[in-house]
Structure 1
Amino acid sequence: MPINTFARIAAFALALIATPALSAEIIDSAGRKVEIETPAKRVIVGEARQIHVIAALEGEKTFDTIVGWRDDLVKKDPDTYAAYIDRFPQIAKLPLFGYIPQGDFSLESAIALSPDVITLNLEVEKTAKESGFEEKAAAAGIKVVYLDFRLNPDKNSENSIRTLGQIFGAEKRAEEFIAYRRAQIALVTDKLASIKDVKRPKVFIERAPGISGENNCCRTFGPVNFGAMVEQAGGHNIASDVFKTTFGDLNPEQLVVSDPDHVIVTGSNWAAESDINQFVPVGRGADMTLARERLAKLMTRTPFPGLKAVKNGDVHAVWHQFYGAPYEFFPIQQFAKWFHPELFADMDPEKNFEDFHQRFLPVTYKPGYFASLEKGSN
């Protein structure tokens, strides 16, 4: 090889080595400006249920750059965990981390994995700051990024999807996911908007009954999260009349006075952490017979037997994990069919969610995300 040709190749190689990695400035869900190198090479997923989004962006490469994750998927959503471990057996060896507000997230163990980025849910921000987690991570050269699909999803979901797209180098896929999600929600909201004076049934949606304690009523959602899904589906969330926070409690007397047309409870497979096991175990591949038995039993609590919805059999369960993943188009569509069965008679939410799996996810679809009592069963 001529010397001048060799010199040019060597100079080009040196230039490549000297070129800095691509960087991007993002504004996370906490409003913080964070500069990250993209795509990140090593990521700790500080809320494992963020995998619902990451998998939609990365597909077969979902776990290529994930070096650790929180233990919440194993404990709170074992059916989804089983689906992913079946598809990606290597994730059984991924290091697990605890929950920062409970003090069982080992930052020292995280630092030992040399991550570029740790993604956290927005609700842990206060604890992460006050405990020094943010400061110590920064000192170790680790970027902390806050995401939010739970506290205020209407405001933060799309930005959080885009942020994950940047972190994983999947910006185009993120925009495709956002467009798909918008279009699926619009199938409901556009039709409702075209109908003059839509009659909105009153809806009470109870958060995670039967998971712990004495199983009393009535933890619920304000005008965001599941409360917003009820409204988008053409219902009226009665708790929005009482408080404006993401979560809150109605007292039984308020529920009796409101006398909702529909009652919906959220449920999941919480066998790993429930102390009373009276929850409704809906979710991927759920046992519908057991789910309906549990749902019927929950309706024997005070004050449910006297409610219009229970007497009429308009009682349902929805997979709780929709409250933390931007898959809300699916429950919105199903809620719309419950609230306005004639208007949405031609809509098939199950088929649409199966289509979403085929187009975006590396795991197969299995039904089981909803359950309803039969009319007249009460």
Structure 2
Amino acid sequence: MKLALTTCLATLLTTAAWAEITITDLRDRTVTLDAPAERVLLGFYYEDFLAVAGDGAADRIVGLSRGPWADWRPKQWQAYTQTFPQLADLPDVGDTESSTFSIEAALATNPDLVILAGWQYDALGESAQQFDTAGVPVLVLDYNAQTLEAHLASTRALGQAMGTEDRAEALATLYADMTADTAKRVNASTENPKVYVELAQKGPDEVGNSYAGGMWGGVIDRLKGQNIANGQIENWGPLSPEYVLAEAPEVILLSGSEWLNRPAAVPMGFGADKALAQTRIDAYKARAGWADLPAVKNGKVYGIYHGGTRTLSDFAYFRFLGKALHPAAFADVDPQAELEQFYADWLPIKPEGTFVMQAE
């Protein structure tokens, strides 16, 4: 009888403890879970989810906003579906970028938690309240903010939600330590070059987006580069060719990816061929007036994986750019090796392809 009462009490205490999972998300909302999530509708931050949730993470996903993964990062998607074939069979609930996100389809997956990026939650607007009405908690993360604080808060919130707080804390500590080392090196440098970043998706005949504040803009700011987009755009948008030439950037960053049906894009990321990336970058360098830019004349044009920002592994891309902006301060840093080690320690696949490169 005593054993039965003890067992019952332990069960009640465990249930009560799980009922006390209260999280403040990245939109300063209070999210309460009865227990760690086991049926997750995952909107974005796919690799971060797998890294933080650890073993069995893929089995806890019941639905996806598939477009931002399968369409934006098709080779990455291919790598993960080879490891976790069940991902390809999960319901696709659409995506907010194409205005196809269906809350009805999301609810039909019977999730006990919906995880959205801040930009997805913002795009849904008042319609996101339908999840509240259905009694399904929504956790908003924001690695896109590209700040140390938002990265750490997103990681810890995800760990709380998945019951993997120790793993999340280890990842947060790694990210904070690498960020601190990067900042120390940057602060020791006196260099402050002008930087231009462009999304190299459309090819050289059409100007792609640049970034200010968040994403690559946030990276450049934290590395103490002079981002020529600052004050010209809000968040993202194209800069005029005339403005870029007048600013004479000393470093040019072309952000590429695995986009489908983009024959002139700079291919970067999983499965990307370095020789082809060089050929596509050469086409950008051949734009009118670019031959006279300091970045082109001095061999300071770089390709980088667009999927390398807004994620826990982006510290390696920070350090690659740190090496580009402050070569002496980062002389002993090998960002490619650091990226490979991150995948070996935290993710179930290898980063095979071309993720960063200095153009010839």
Shared fold (TM-score greater than 0.5)?
Answer: yes
Equivalent residue runs for 1:281-360 within 5 Å: 281-360=267-346
* Distance in 2 between residues matched to 1:58 and 1:124, nearest whole Å: 21
1:217 shift after superposition: 2.2
Q: Cα 1:194–1:309, aligned 2, differ >3 Å: closer, same or farther?
A: closer
1:347 shift after superposition: 1.1
Given the alignment of the two structures, is residue 264 of structure 1 paired with residue 253 of structure 2, yes or no?
yes
Segment drifting more, 23-32 vs 66-75: 23-32
Equivalent residue runs for 1:1-378 within 5 Å: 4=1, 9=4, 12-13=7-8, 16=11, 19-20=15-16, 21-47=18-44, 50-71=45-66, 72-100=68-96, 102-130=98-126, 132=127, 134-195=128-189, 198-210=190-202, 215-217=205-207, 219-243=209-233, 245-271=234-260, 274=261, 276-374=262-360
* Distance in 1 between residues matched to 2:99 and 2:228, nearest whole Å: 36
* Distance in 2 between residues matched to 1:241 and 1:137, nearest whole Å: 37
Q: Cα 1:152–1:368, aligned 2, differ >3 Å: closer, same or farther?
A: closer
The answer (yes or no) to whether the contact 2:25–2:139 under 8 Å persists in 1 is: yes
For the residue of structure 2 that corresponds to 1:97, the secondary structure is: coil
* Distance in 1 between residues matched to 2:188 and 2:326, nearest whole Å: 14
CA RMSD of aligned residues (A): 2.3
* Distance in 2 between residues matched to 1:230 and 1:41, nearest whole Å: 38
For the residue of structure 2 that corresponds to 1:336, the secondary structure is: helix
For the residue of structure 1 that corresponds to 2:26, the secondary structure is: coil
The answer (yes or no) to whether the contact 2:229–2:239 under 8 Å persists in 1 is: yes
1:41 shift after superposition: 1.8
Q: TM-score, normalised by structure 1?
A: 0.87
1:234 shift after superposition: 4.5
Segment drifting more, 157-166 vs 362-371: 362-371
**Aligned residue type for 1:110:** A
**Aligned residue type for 1:232:** R
The answer (yes or no) to whether the contact 1:184–1:329 under 8 Å persists in 2 is: yes
1:73 shift after superposition: 0.9
1:39 shift after superposition: 0.7
Stretches of 4+ moved more than 6 A in 1?
Answer: none
1:210 shift after superposition: 1.9
For the residue of structure 1 that corresponds to 2:181, the secondary structure is: helix
**Aligned residue type for 2:240:** N
For the residue of structure 2 that corresponds to 1:331, the secondary structure is: helix
The answer (yes or no) to whether the contact 1:252–1:303 under 8 Å persists in 2 is: no
**Aligned residue type for 2:241:** P
**Aligned residue type for 2:310:** G
**Aligned residue type for 1:281:** P
Segment drifting more, 85-94 vs 152-161: 152-161
Higher Rg of the two aligned structures:
1
Q: Cα 1:307–1:176, aligned 2, differ >3 Å: closer, same or farther?
A: same
* Distance in 2 between residues matched to 1:117 and 1:278, nearest whole Å: 39
Q: Cα 1:336–1:102, aligned 2, differ >3 Å: closer, same or farther?
A: closer
The answer (yes or no) to whether the contact 1:223–1:239 under 8 Å persists in 2 is: no
**Aligned residue type for 2:246:** V
**Aligned residue type for 2:157:** T
The answer (yes or no) to whether the contact 1:210–1:298 under 8 Å persists in 2 is: no
1:256 shift after superposition: 1.3
| Deviation sequence 1:205-256 (CA, Å, 0-9, x none) | 1124326xx852252111332122223335322222534x322332222211
* Distance in 2 between residues matched to 1:172 and 1:278, nearest whole Å: 44
The answer (yes or no) to whether the contact 2:131–2:138 under 8 Å persists in 1 is: yes
**Aligned residue type for 2:195:** V
Segment drifting more, 185-194 vs 73-82: 185-194
Q: Cα 1:15–1:158, aligned 2, differ >3 Å: closer, same or farther?
A: closer
Q: Cα 1:31–1:139, aligned 2, differ >3 Å: closer, same or farther?
A: same
The answer (yes or no) to whether the contact 1:23–1:35 under 8 Å persists in 2 is: yes
Q: Cα 1:232–1:101, aligned 2, differ >3 Å: closer, same or farther?
A: closer
Unaligned runs of 5+ in 2: none
Identity of aligned residues (%): 29
